């Protein structure tokens, strides 16, 4: 169980009436701030401490670039950051890294666990190594670049944005995808684009099998422009030969959707 460390003293975690752990909400205030830049060592901080420090720096101190040393693969780091800033993690992060973020440009020097950037609204995240399953789940916008491999169900329920994977991807990639784009440079496991409603998936390697209603698409000049632009921006070299996959549109009819359902896919 996580305990709170504040300075040299260590406190026992407290529990709320539901039995959920309620960690100390004191902001660590350990960062060294230099103008609009800051750096802090997260080695001795709890997950909550790291997130509180990030929020203090970005929301209260006006810092525009933060470097976090020794994140030690902590889970749920950087969740819900809603401002423009550059954040550099000098190490790996655990589950749900940078979830629900809206605005930051993030660089993660190591790996990430499950559900990195789930529900990401806008911004950029570049991950230098591998990512777990459910990467970019329900993502709404922005760019997510993974320079290694990813697990299963990448971009499940994706509603916007661009996911770029330089390595291979697992099974059910793009499952229930509704909008947005995925560029997978390596091989892809079985069930690619299963039950996708919309969006585009580009694959550079072999596809084990296509999912239900996922079909090859017709390449256009817009596709070429998108791929070349994204590879240029993120310095990814020359794009491989890609095959485009789209929704066959045999399974749905948006015209019959209630307004409240329709807005979910916009």
Partner 1 sequence: MSTRRLPAEPQKIVSIDAEYLSGRRFPYQEDMGLVEDIDLMAATPGEDLNWLEDIHLLIEDGVPAVFDRYSNSFLKIYFAIPEGREDEIARKVLIKHLQSGNSYGITLKERHCKYPQPELGPWVEGSRTVGTDYHRSILEGWEPPEH
Q: How far is the CB of 104 from partner 1 (least distance, A)?
A: 7
Contact set with partner 1 (CB under 8 A): 55, 59-60, 62, 80, 82-84, 102-105, 121-124, 140-143, 160-162, 179-180, 229, 233, 259-260, 263, 266
Beta strands in 26-101 (DSSP E): 32-34, 37-41, 65-69, 86-90
- Considering the complex, state which of residue 21 and residue 233 has its C-beta at the smaller distance from partner 1: 233
Q: How far is the CB of 168 from partner 1 (least distance, A)?
A: 25
How many Å apart are CA 196 and CA 75, to the nearest integer?
29
Q: How far is the CB of 203 from partner 1 (least distance, A)?
A: 20
Question: Within 10 Å of residue 256's Cβ, how many Cβ atoms?
Answer: 8
* H or E stretch at 134: none
- Considering the complex, state which of residue 250 and residue 263 has its C-beta at the smaller distance from partner 1: 263
Q: How far is the CB of 258 from partner 1 (least distance, A)?
A: 8
- Considering the complex, state which of residue 207 and residue 242 has its C-beta at the smaller distance from partner 1: 242
- Considering the complex, state which of residue 80 and residue 205 has its C-beta at the smaller distance from partner 1: 80
- Considering the complex, state which of residue 206 and residue 229 has its C-beta at the smaller distance from partner 1: 229
Residues 68/54, Cβ–Cβ less than 8 Å:
yes
Q: What's the longest Cα–Cα distance across the chain?
A: 62
- Considering the complex, state which of residue 75 and residue 208 has its C-beta at the smaller distance from partner 1: 75
Q: How far is the CB of 119 from partner 1 (least distance, A)?
A: 12
Rounded alpha-carbon distances, angstroms, from residue 103 to 82, 100, 117, 122: 6, 10, 12, 5
Rounded alpha-carbon distances, angstroms, from residue 16 to 20, 31, 75, 161: 6, 29, 21, 38
How many Å apart are CA 249 and CA 89, to the nearest integer?
41
Quote the DSSP letter at residue 12.
P
Q: How far is the CB of 208 from partner 1 (least distance, A)?
A: 28
Cα dihedral across residues 39, 42, 45, 50: positive or negative: positive
CA 250 to chain centre: 30
């Amino acid at each position: 169980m996580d305990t709170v460390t504040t300075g040299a003293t260590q406190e026992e975690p407290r529990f709320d009436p539901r039995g959920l752990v309620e960690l100390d909400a004191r902001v660590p205030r350990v960062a060294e701030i230099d103008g609009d830049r800051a750096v802090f060592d997260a080695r001795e901080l709890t997950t909550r401490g790291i997130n509180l420090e990030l929020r203090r720096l970005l929301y209260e101190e006006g810092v525009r670039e933060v470097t976090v040393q020794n994140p030690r693969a902590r889970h749920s780091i950087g969740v819900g950051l809603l401002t423009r800033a550059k954040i550099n993690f000098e190490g790996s992060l655990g589950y749900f890294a940078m979830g629900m973020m809206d605005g930051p440009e993030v660089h993660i020097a190591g790996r990430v666990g499950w559900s990195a950037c789930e529900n990401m609204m806008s911004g950029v995240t570049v991950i230098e190594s591998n990512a777990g399953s459910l990467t970019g789940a329900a993502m709404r916008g922005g760019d997510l670049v993974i320079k290694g491999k990813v697990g299963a169900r990448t971009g499940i329920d994706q509603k916007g944005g661009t996911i770029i994977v330089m390595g291979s991807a697992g099974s059910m990639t793009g499952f229930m995808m509704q909008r947005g784009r995925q560029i997978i440079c390596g091989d892809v496991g079985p069930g690619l684009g299963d039950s996708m409603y919309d969006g585009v998936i580009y694959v550079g390697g072999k596809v084990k099998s296509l999912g239900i209603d996922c079909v090859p698409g017709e390449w256009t000049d817009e596709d070429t422009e998108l791929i070349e632009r994204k590879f240029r921006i993120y310095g990814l070299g020359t794009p491989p030969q890609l095959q485009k996959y789209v929704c066959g549109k045999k399974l749905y009819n948006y015209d019959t959707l209630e307004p409240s359902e329709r807005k979910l896919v916009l």
